[in-house]
Structure 1
């Protein structure tokens, strides 16, 4: 073949590739902004401009925060099941509005409209921060179970902690207790096979949540995960918070609420929904949602969120509550990548005279996320937000309080992933006593943190600043 022919063929493929790349750019310029936040659209379009072919592949895989069609069809069927559960809950005598100051009185209505669950009175709560102590408490509750145990968890490890919980569950089954367990397929991937084998061998009904695989007939997207941590025992005791079932040396500082009272039924409803979505089994509403006679205790409410709940975003709740704050806002989270609405809400709260604190971990376990998170520190410090860097261990706890009146604790981080991609659950308490107990926990983390100052932060190495700014451009995709 002549040199001229080689040149012509090479020129043809070069031209073809250039046209292909520019076709991707033009088409994505139209598609990407559709029903997407400006920040997310800019992140995607930046990636498309520089790397059009990899961006196209990535967009096909994870470009839309929605489940496959088969799962959306299941969720459409779930609507009637959830209606029966919420109807059963709404008939409880415990359905009562919280007593709140006028600036926060619409908070409960907002949460009900987001997650469909009413506020329920007559609850009691403990805040548990002792990692191993919580596992001991959970096992004791499983050992005392009489009817059923329901667990949904992101990480269920085949380690000492996991084996202790498995032993308790198998023991409960031998006493005639029904035990059901959901574990996230990706979060527990390195242990999932062994954990499922041990559970099923002991008579526990266990399934993977959102399993992924190229050869699976019905596979989930790898980036859409069930990040919830819900433990329900006999419809009487419930747990929600940040802690997984794994040894303490893997994850570190946690906070979990152990609740009793009618609000446990709302955690039960979220579990029943997740169970149906993975198994298509409809759990018996009459058995799992007994009537709770309201006693003395606090008003509480559950907020589920995720791609299956298009209006139920933790971010919507946080922004609404921050705009209503008059005295004090404290956010504790391991990952902080806000969108524009949340960032502006925090900045304007300071301008109104609100004392705003953000507690994040100095230690980072995800490098790119860490760089993106730190890119916001200068704006936060300039606005007057007090930024605490927890120095002891990786701070994995996730909680939020407003004016000593309302607190939230759950599985959701303050980042785009938890706002849009992960299935999460939050417990909201309208009670000064439990919020005061949370404040003691917050003060403890303040004492174990370094208060970051603007001059010190601006003095960091210029190369670090470049990495942070580049990571921030990609933050809507993280």
Structure 2
């Protein structure tokens, strides 16, 4: 019997539909977390054609073959550059479990644990920029700047003016900025023009320019934030170099202001931060710039390791280090994270710590700037509260963007990494693992200040929230697994 055109098209549609669904069952779970695989399969099963298109754009968190090869070479270069640096002996009062965490980071990243070092925590935007400007004014050889976002404006003028003065006296200024992020924000052209006019060397990280063969998953981003000056002084933390309103009209209308934590280091750890910039610069330019190899003058009562992570590093280094620290803590854990969407391992580690009697406190924002991430984070609050985790919500309209953790009295972590799967699997991040009571005291002092501007969330209040909010939380939790 001869098929009509309609029947033939229907048969073709059914065949393709079934083939796409069957292919998804084979392709999607490969080397992927079960929760993530199930979420992707759900999307594809609901609408195979659209689902496969979305999966093709966002389902692969691997770098291109060329960049993977380069990242392997970078890890080799990092290993060679730090081979002659021995891990420092633990401080006398440090916990017995810390050397194991240090060894894990050294094995995964080749980054040494060094010291002594001094560190100053800066908690206000203007003081953060002024601290960097003062150090840039001391620069004699180079200033290396790497940020997720850099925007010239009235509030960031003190930093850009310091760069101009440095360039004018012959200091080499190199700037790395995440490409896709920077083109999405206001004043991109003005910022580029300002840097080029002063003679700074500006390069985009992870550029997305398909017409030039520069392509990867759309949301693979370089989220690192660091400044290195002459290999002597370094800065890192959660800061983006942009007005605290992020200059979006909707943010200004809502009165949103981002609040960050920024740390200034001197001494030995700065060399490791410099190695990370050096490797990122080479990844984007194929140019090996100068690397401070001399031992910087060291003072202070802290030791520290750089914890690099990203798609080019095997083993999700930041996730592994954070898990080890949570499991090891014996008395107190403080977590400050604007985007807290943990994977299953981190969720169990944190709730288990609370259940075994550890005092665990999570600081987050009362208000969110990213709708789905905000609701995905809220979907974990009930479980955390029932386990005994204290949840402290910073009062709106401030977005608490700081990212740090403390463990007992002598170990802390600060950097660019959130507690979410984006930071663990998609973003290039930098964190500092710091040994020493003085840093814990500074960060706990910061947390104590946050608490004065916050409210404590209770289980009763949380369970009484509107039904519509609960629905959005549950839906958003599904989307958080799409890695």
Fold conserved between structures, TM > 0.5:
yes
User: Does residue 1:268 correspond to 2:274, yes or no?
Assistant: yes
Residues of 2 paired with 1:28 and 1:112: CA distance? 38
1:442 pairs, out of 444, 447, 461, with 447
Residues of 2 paired with 1:103 and 1:295: CA distance? 25
User: Does residue 1:454 correspond to 2:448, yes or no?
Assistant: no
Once the two structures are TM-superposed, the CA of residue 458 in structure 1 deviates from its matched residue by 1.0
Please give the per-residue CA displacement for 1:131-189, whole angstroms capped at 9, x wherever unaligned. 11111111121122111100000110132234443332122111010110001112211
* Kept after mapping to 1: 8 A contact 2:342/2:419: yes
User: Does residue 1:120 correspond to 2:125, yes or no?
Assistant: no
Once the two structures are TM-superposed, the CA of residue 51 in structure 1 deviates from its matched residue by 2.1
Residues of 2 paired with 1:123 and 1:10: CA distance? 75
Question: Aligned residue for 1:281?
Answer: 287
* Kept after mapping to 2: 8 A contact 1:114/1:312: no
SS of 1:215's equivalent in the other structure is helix
Structure 1 window deviating more from structure 2 (393-402 vs 201-210): it is 201-210
* Kept after mapping to 1: 8 A contact 2:333/2:407: yes
Question: Aligned residue for 1:106?
Answer: 100
Once the two structures are TM-superposed, the CA of residue 192 in structure 1 deviates from its matched residue by 3.5
Root-mean-square deviation (CA, aligned residues, Å) is: 1.9
* Kept after mapping to 1: 8 A contact 2:143/2:173: yes
SS of 1:183's equivalent in the other structure is strand
SS of 1:160's equivalent in the other structure is coil
Once the two structures are TM-superposed, the CA of residue 98 in structure 1 deviates from its matched residue by 4.3
1:401 pairs, out of 406, 428, 434, with 406
Once the two structures are TM-superposed, the CA of residue 312 in structure 1 deviates from its matched residue by 4.2
Gaps of 5+ in 2: 247-256
TM-score w.r.t. structure 2 length?
Answer: 0.93
User: Does residue 1:354 correspond to 2:354, yes or no?
Assistant: no
User: Does residue 1:321 correspond to 2:325, yes or no?
Assistant: yes
Residues of 2 paired with 1:144 and 1:403: CA distance? 36
Residues of 1 paired with 2:89 and 2:296: CA distance? 13
* Kept after mapping to 1: 8 A contact 2:231/2:296: no
* Kept after mapping to 2: 8 A contact 1:303/1:427: yes
Question: Aligned residue for 1:95?
Answer: 88
Question: Aligned residue for 2:188?
Answer: 192
User: How many correspondences in the alignment?
Assistant: 469
User: Does residue 1:24 correspond to 2:17, yes or no?
Assistant: no
Gaps of 5+ in 1: none
Are the structure 2 counterparts of residues 70 and 192 from structure 1 closer, same or farther at C-alpha, using a change threshold of 3 Å? farther
1:152 pairs, out of 133, 146, 149, with 146
Once the two structures are TM-superposed, the CA of residue 296 in structure 1 deviates from its matched residue by 4.1
Residues of 2 paired with 1:440 and 1:159: CA distance? 30
Once the two structures are TM-superposed, the CA of residue 222 in structure 1 deviates from its matched residue by 1.9
* Kept after mapping to 2: 8 A contact 1:332/1:358: yes
Residues of 2 paired with 1:355 and 1:349: CA distance? 8
Residues of 2 paired with 1:18 and 1:464: CA distance? 38
Are the structure 2 counterparts of residues 161 and 280 from structure 1 closer, same or farther at C-alpha, using a change threshold of 3 Å? farther
User: Does residue 1:213 correspond to 2:209, yes or no?
Assistant: yes
* Kept after mapping to 1: 8 A contact 2:90/2:99: no
Residues of 1 paired with 2:445 and 2:73: CA distance? 44
Following superposition of structure 1 onto structure 2, how do residues 357-436 of structure 1 map, counting pairs within 5 Å? 357-392=361-396, 393-436=398-441
User: Does residue 1:337 correspond to 2:341, yes or no?
Assistant: yes
SS of 2:462's equivalent in the other structure is helix
Are the structure 2 counterparts of residues 115 and 76 from structure 1 closer, same or farther at C-alpha, using a change threshold of 3 Å? closer
Once the two structures are TM-superposed, the CA of residue 208 in structure 1 deviates from its matched residue by 0.7
Residues of 1 paired with 2:9 and 2:194: CA distance? 55
SS of 1:188's equivalent in the other structure is helix
Are the structure 2 counterparts of residues 163 and 443 from structure 1 closer, same or farther at C-alpha, using a change threshold of 3 Å? closer
Question: Aligned residue for 2:164?
Answer: 170
SS of 2:259's equivalent in the other structure is coil
SS of 1:212's equivalent in the other structure is coil
Residues of 1 paired with 2:79 and 2:108: CA distance? 15
Please give the per-residue CA displacement for 1:198-248, whole angstroms capped at 9, x wherever unaligned. 212221111111111232222343211010001011111100001111112
Residues of 2 paired with 1:210 and 1:85: CA distance? 24
Residues of 1 paired with 2:374 and 2:368: CA distance? 6
Residues of 1 paired with 2:55 and 2:414: CA distance? 33
Please give the per-residue CA displacement for 1:82-121, whole angstroms capped at 9, x wherever unaligned. 2332125x16xx8333442224442211222232111111
TM-score w.r.t. structure 1 length?
Answer: 0.94
Question: Aligned residue for 2:236?
Answer: 240
* Kept after mapping to 2: 8 A contact 1:241/1:426: yes
Residues of 1 paired with 2:140 and 2:296: CA distance? 17
* Kept after mapping to 1: 8 A contact 2:316/2:424: no
SS of 1:407's equivalent in the other structure is strand
Question: Aligned residue for 2:49?
Answer: 53
Are the structure 2 counterparts of residues 214 and 147 from structure 1 closer, same or farther at C-alpha, using a change threshold of 3 Å? same
